[in-house]
Amino acid sequence: MTARDTAIVAAFEALSALLGPRFSRSESDRALHGRSESAFPEMPPDAVVYPESTDEVAQIARICHRAGLPMIGWGAGTSLEGHAIAPRGGVTVDFSRMNKVLQIAPEDMVAIVQPGITREELNTELRATGLFFPVDPGANASIGGMASTRASGTTAVRYGTMRANVLGLEVVLADGRVIRTGTRAPKSSTGYDLTALFVGAEGTLGLITELTVRLHGQPEAIRSAVCAFDDMAGAVNAVIATIQSGIPMARIEFVDRAAAAVFNAGAGTDWPDAPHLMLEFHGSEQAVAEQTARFAEIAADFGGQGFRWAEKPEDRTALWTMRHNTYRTAMMQFRDRDPLTTDICVPISRLAEAVEETAAEIAASGIPGPIVGHVGDGNFHALLLPRKGDAEEWGRAQDLAANMAKRALRLGGTVSGEHGIGMGKTKYMALEHGEAWQVMGAIKAALDPEGLMNPGKLLPGN
């Protein structure tokens, strides 16, 4: 047995002594934490731990650091670019037991939470306060995972992404040090913004063990709608005109013809064979009435028609549940195909061009590829569906995804607006960031010189 093998055995013994049954090397636990919703094959860790406190996470980190064991944070496992699988083995730190709301401060409109709580659980806890946490990526993701991937979603056009809604963090570094970043104050001018550094770092710099998040007031009135357009250009240009008009949309989503057909077949809708916008307005009764009337005028100018309004809570829930379930609904219909999901984000002024070019290329490929998007902030997704076991179609789908990334950069955008980089998009980082990617690597080396935090993701040579 080598010295490294001996150190790993000692580490596992120490972790078992620390955590008891919350340390697992069972095949089922390891397999569960080696899978993702990405196209990557299963990559299990060597062990899984279930901490219940920051102190335990710090002790886990110190044990793993001494043995040179990689550490991978795990929230709800909903990421799409292989963020939480374990290509180099190591220990997956599952935060499902750290899922409490530690404090709600209604006067400051903040909450302090543990990383394992999901966004739906947090909003359930907030119901009696008149406040809510707005970031909604669709999946019932953990708040810690959402911060690590800088998640956004359907409401980002009004309430911002995780970057705007995380005020402070508690983080355990690779060597077991515990640091705090940010405060509950609305702003600060005291040095580097370490909170922003860890939000979006994808677990490569440390393990988030506590978050201070911004809350928002529940709107007095909410109204949702769907309308069809003659073509994609009309729908996207209506979005651009709406944003430029200053109408405070809470959600403004784009659905192309293929996605509308998926909804009709899988969710029982009867939408026209056309692109659609899905909308939501928040505010006072009067403000919502004014916003909806103004949007209807703009939409009509661009060919919008057939408005369908959803004002009852159950109708709105059904509408947005259907939108969030696009992936699962599509996969039920295309059982003979494998999914390749990707996203890009471009400036609003180039959005119509990006969507139209992408849709034309997908149509020419012969591969199904419904497009949906959070077009209020220039972000859209394609679900590419090559046939199972068809290497040629899989290659074409990968080419489509690569061309989307290159198109985003050509148009002044980014290769991912919300899915993140993980293992799936590292090949584009140098193209997008140039030497700045090496600077990211230098920051990683300073905080984690042994490269133990979520290795193989996001960074050069990681």
Please name every residue paired with 267 in a beta bridge, in sequence order, or none if there are none.
Answer: none
Average pLDDT across the chain, whole number: 94
Work out the average pLDDT over 240-245: 88
The conformation of residue 427, written as its DSSP 8-state character, comes to G
Nearest alpha-carbon partner for 381 in 341, 324, 322: 341
Q: What is the pLDDT of residues 357-394, one digit of tens each?
A: 999 999 999 999 999 988 888 999 999 999 999 999 99
Q: Looking at residue 141, what is its pLDDT? A: 94
Q: What is the DSSP string of 191-247?
A: S--HHHHHTTSTTSS-EEEEEEEE-EEPPSEEEEEEEE-SSHHHHHHHHHHHHHTT-
Q: Which fold has domain 101-217?
A: 3.30.465
Q: What is the pLDDT of residues 257-273, one digit of tens each?
A: 999 999 999 888 999 99
> Which carries the bigger pLDDT value, residue 266 or residue 12?
12
Residue 287 to residues 87, 113, 144, 294, 317: CA-CA distances in angstroms?
Answer: 51, 33, 34, 11, 21
Residue 215 to residues 186, 194, 353, 424: CA-CA distances in angstroms?
Answer: 12, 21, 35, 32
Residues 6+ apart with CB under 8 A from 271: 226, 228, 260, 263, 264
36 has pLDDT over 90: no
Q: What is the pLDDT of residues 128-138, one digit of tens each?
A: 999 999 999 98
Q: How confident is the model at residue 234 (pLDDT cuts 50, 70, 90)?
A: very high
79 has pLDDT over 90: no
Q: Looking at residue 236, what is its pLDDT? A: 86
In the three-class reduction of DSSP (H, G, I as helix; E, B as strand; rest coil), residue 315 is classed as helix
Please name every residue paired with 381 in a beta bridge, in sequence order, or none if there are none.
Answer: 343, 372
Residues 72, 152, 360: CA angle, nearest 5 degrees: 105
CA–CA dist 398, 201 (Å, integer): 25
Cβ-contact 197, 283 below 8 angstroms:
no
The conformation of residue 23, written as its DSSP 8-state character, comes to E
Nearest alpha-carbon partner for 219 in 253, 252, 251, 250: 250
Q: Which fold has domain 221-410?
A: Vanillyl-alcohol Oxidase; Chain A, domain 3 (3.40.462)
Residue 433 to residues 237, 349, 386, 454: CA-CA distances in angstroms?
Answer: 29, 21, 30, 21
Cβ-contact 107, 177 below 8 angstroms:
no
Q: Looking at residue 98, what is its pLDDT? A: 98
Q: How confident is the model at residue 51 (pLDDT cuts 50, 70, 90)?
A: very high
454 has pLDDT over 90: yes
Q: Looking at residue 2, what is its pLDDT? A: 92
Q: Looking at residue 260, what is its pLDDT? A: 94
Label residue 107 exposed, middle or buried (CB < 10 Å: 0-12, 13-18, 19+).
exposed
38 has pLDDT over 80: no
CA–CA dist 226, 323 (Å, integer): 11
Residues 456, 458, 459, 461, CA torsion sign:
positive
CA–CA dist 7, 5 (Å, integer): 5
186 has pLDDT over 90: no
The domain 3-96: what is its CATH number? Answer: 3.30.43.10
Work out the average pLDDT over 62-80: 95
125 has pLDDT over 80: yes
Amino acid at 50: Y
Q: Looking at residue 4, what is its pLDDT? A: 85
Q: How confident is the model at residue 146 (pLDDT cuts 50, 70, 90)?
A: very high
Q: Looking at residue 460, what is its pLDDT? A: 93
- pLDDT above 90: percentage of residues in the chain: 86
Cβ-contact 144, 123 below 8 angstroms:
no
> Which carries the bigger pLDDT value, residue 348 or residue 75?
75
